[in-house]
Structure 1
Amino acid sequence: MLKDEVAKALKVIQDGGIILYPTDTIWGIGCDATNTEAVKKIYALKQRDEAKSMIILLDVDNKLQSYVSEVPDIAYDLIEFAENPLTLVMPGAKNISPALIAEDGSVGIRVAKHDFCQQLIQRLRKPLVSTSANTSGQPSPKNFGQVSAEIIEGVDYVVDLEQHDMGEKRPSTIMRLEADGRFEFLRR
């Protein structure tokens, strides 16, 4: 049941653990975005270069200003009207683990439109790290059935929701958005 899974995942995250969970895009590996030790566990599991930052998820767009110095007004319109899940890469990241901030000071943020993610983030009261559930260099799994045993065994908790959904999901659209409102697509 959704409420039980949110409670179990919340406990693991509050204890500094990492989870494997469904999102509005592909399955993700996540943790508390303010906990650097937990973030480093994800980098180690993915065998990912720490210079390659990971995105964070929020439950509502009005929390953007808590994690980005200057949020251009257009960000809210982009999030509201995006047809597909949209990750915005914005400069001036703040109040998250330094391990999540890119060399240029930016961070990728997506407002998750997924019940589990929204409820977990609301209860955590912090952003959730979200990175594809694969080892660096391997293809992103399009459903739970494609997540490797290495990843499943490497996390502290696997959320027991949507595991039998074999529909193929896609990663989010990624757009770089500057403080002055200029933007470019990084992945469509």
Structure 2
Amino acid sequence: MKIIKLSGKNENSIIESVVDVLSKGGLVVYPTETCYGIGADVTNQSAVDKVIKYKKKRQGKALLIAVADKEMAGKYVKINEIAENIYDNYLPGPISVVSKSKGYVAKGVEADDKTIGIRMPKYCLVLKIIKKFGKPVTSTSANSSYKKTPYSVKDILENISKKQKDLIDLIIDAGELPKNKPSTVINTTLNEIQILREGDVNLKSPKKVITKSENETKKLAKTLIQKNRNLGKKPIVFALQGELGTGKTQFAKGLAKTLGIKEAILSPTFILMREYDFKFKSKKLKFFHADTYRIFEEKEFIDLGFKNMVKKPNIVVIEWAEKVSKTLRELKNSFELIWIKFDYQADENARKIEYSNEIL
């Protein structure tokens, strides 16, 4: 077993080493955006048997596989309209898409119902490796079944036996990875999305609420921020979509008041951005309130310093968020996104408010 530490200077040599091991039917431990995975050639029966032996006690469970792009996935599974929408809008990212197999993989990769779970990791090195190799690789986590999720090489080596270690040919050590949840697993073989395992990406239907006054809209904001487990731990972006007067600024006021901000919250339409200080426990954080109504290009939003805003567990509220949806989609792994859509109702004081962790 060889361990190579990943640095900014040895990426090309690592790719060559990994492809060489995979081509010879070996096993490689590699980093992803969720945890360390164990990779092998999915078309090589001997290699797949090694993965199953390594994992132990799988009782017929299928193996996730990783691809470089949608085109590669299409060679191994049948991609229907539902799956295609996920590939086009959410991948690369921490999602596993379950589709009907075309039967070109080794025994043990498919589930009993002849389906395969496909990953397209949001980890540039892994995508380059798979593209260079020209075929999918297994993407199951590198822990032994039912053992600790591997966020570091130490997590792996301290929780496997000598026999398991002997099965590994190469480990790519990228240090300790962020403790993200496993991928969200989605069955796309039915007529609607079926969530088989919940991860950081939530594709469930948006929640809907009818508020009958400005005060109720503020109370909804209070509820959403108070119940959020990431408050003070991870940046949270509230992306607000809705016409003039639907309650976006009132919602921002409700958030600010809940966070203990005593200053008046004014719409930042003409200056684009306002910022306020607040404390959460002992942390000094920022509440950023942006209005992108007057922005013509998304680059202007980046120029306001958005990337720096989400480097700390700050709160960012964006009115007219649909104007910067491309930027939010590209950077969504850097923060928790809560997309909120406001609509008028027949009662002039009522608003229908939908909210989701995905862009509506």
Q: TM-score, normalised by structure 2?
A: 0.48
1:133-169 Cα shifts (integer Å, max 9, x gaps): 1111213223333223435554111114x1x234323
Larger-gyration structure (1/2): 2
SS at match of 1:75: helix
Superposed CA offset, 1:118-138 (max 9, x none): 111111111011111111121
User: Structure 1's 176 and 166: CA in aligned 2 closer, same or farther, altered over 3 A?
Assistant: closer
- How does 1:30-109 map onto structure 2 within 5 Å? 30-49=39-58, 51-68=60-77, 70-82=78-90, 84-109=93-118
In structure 1, distance between residues paired with 2:113 and 2:128: 31
Question: SS of 1:100's equivalent?
Answer: coil
Question: Matched residue pairs, number?
Answer: 184
Q: Which of structures 1 and 2 has the larger relative contact order (alpha carbons within 8 angstroms, sep 6+)?
A: 1
Unaligned runs of 5+ in 1: none
RMSD, aligned CA: 1.9
Taking the aligned partners of 1:170 and 1:142, their CA distance within structure 2 comes to: 10
**Residues 81 and 19 (structure 1 numbering): CA distance in 2 closer, same or farther, change over 3 Å?**
same
Contact 2:18 2:28 in 1 (8 A): yes
- TM-score normalised by length of structure 1: 0.89
| Higher alpha-carbon deviation: 42-51 or 32-41 | 42-51
Higher strand share: 2
Write the letter of the residue equivalent to 1:171: P
More moved, 166-175 vs 142-151: 142-151
From 140, 146, 155, the equivalent of 1:137 is 146
Amino acid at match of 1:75: A
Deviation at 1:77, TM superposition (A): 1.8
CA distance in 1, matches of 2:122, 2:84: 14
Q: What is the deviation of 1:63? A: 2.1
d(CA) in 2 for partners of 1:181 and 1:57? 24
Supply the distance in 2 between the matched residues of 1:47 and 1:165 (Cα, whole angstroms): 24
- 1:177 is matched with 188
> Conserved in 2, the CA contact under 8 Å of 1:144 and 1:166?
no
Q: Deviations over 1:35-88 (max 9, x none)?
A: 1110111111121335111111001112222011x3112212213333851101
SS state at 1:98 partner: coil
Determine the structure 1 residue equivalent to 2:197.
187
Determine the structure 2 residue equivalent to 1:157: 170
| Structure 1 Cα separation of the partners of residues 22 and 86 of structure 2 | 30
Partners of 1:117 and 1:43 lie apart in 2 by 21
CA distance in 2, matches of 1:155, 1:13: 11
Whether 2:15 is the aligned partner of 1:6: answer: yes
C-alpha distance in 2 between matches for 1:91 and 1:166: 32
- Structure 2 SS opposite 1:159: strand
Q: Partner amino acid for 1:34?
A: T
Question: What are the ranges of 5 or more consecutive residues in structure 2 without an aligned counterpart?
Answer: 1-9, 199-360
Q: Secondary structure at the match of 1:90?
A: strand
